[in-house]
Structure 1
C-alpha cells in the first residue's frame, strides 16, 4: 500500500484543488482523486505507481526522457494517461505540476479558472 509520506504528499496536492474528493476506484482500496466524479489521479493497489491524465505529446515526452520514472500504463495509456513510479526518486515540484495539469484536463472550466485565480 502507498506509504504515509507519499500518500500525504498526494493528498496535499490533490485536495488543495477545487471540489476534489478522495474516492477509491472500482473495488480497489488505493487512493484515487476525482473532481465531479471524474478521475484525474489513480494510485495502484500496491502503492508503487500513480496514473494521471496528460495533454497531447506529454506522455511520449515523459516516458522518453525518464523511463525509470514514467511509463505508459495498461488500459488507460492509449487515452493519454501517464504512469509514474512512486518507489523511485521523483521531482515533487514536477509531480505537483503534472497533477495540476491532469486536473485542468478533467475539471470543468469554471473550477480550472478558480484554481488558476481567474475568478
Structure 2
C-alpha cells in the first residue's frame, strides 16, 4: 500500500448526513447516532482494513466471492458486519457503495432520505 487510505475513507463517511467521527478503541470511527464504520489500522493483526454494517447476507456473499478483499471481522462479524481490506488494491467506487450501504443500515430513515444521489 503506497498511500494512507484513511483520508479517503474519512471523506466518504463524513460526506453523509449528520455523521460524526470519534476515536473508539483507539481507532477513527464514524457514527450516525450509532457506529456504522470503524477503521482498523493493524488493530488485531498486521493489516489495514475497515469494518462496517452490511445488509443481510452481504458479508457471506462478499467474503465467499472475494476472500482476498473481504473478511468476517472479529466481534461484529457475527452480526453480519463486513471487513474490507485496505492494504490490497482498492476499488474506491466499490468502497463508496459499501460505506453508503453501511450508513443505510444504521441511519434513521429521515437521514437516509437526505443522502446524496
TM-score (norm 1): 0.87
- Structure with greater strand share of residues: 2
- Structure with greater helix share of residues: 1
Structure 1: give runs of 5+ residues left out of the alignment. none
Q: Do structure 1's residue 71 and structure 2's residue 71 form an aligned pair?
A: yes
CA contact under 8 A between 1:29 and 1:45: conserved in structure 2? Answer: no
Matched residue SS, 1:41: strand
CA contact under 8 A between 1:49 and 1:86: conserved in structure 2? Answer: yes
Matched residue SS, 2:23: coil
Q: Do structure 1's residue 35 and structure 2's residue 39 form an aligned pair?
A: no
CA shift for structure 1 position 48: 0.5
Aligned to 1:101: 101
Task: Report runs of 4+ in structure 1 exceeding 6 Å deviation.
Answer: none
CA contact under 8 A between 2:71 and 2:83: conserved in structure 1? Answer: yes
The number of aligned residues is 112
TM-superposition CA deviations, 1:59-114 (whole Å, max 9, x none): 11110111001001111101010101111112110110000000001001100001
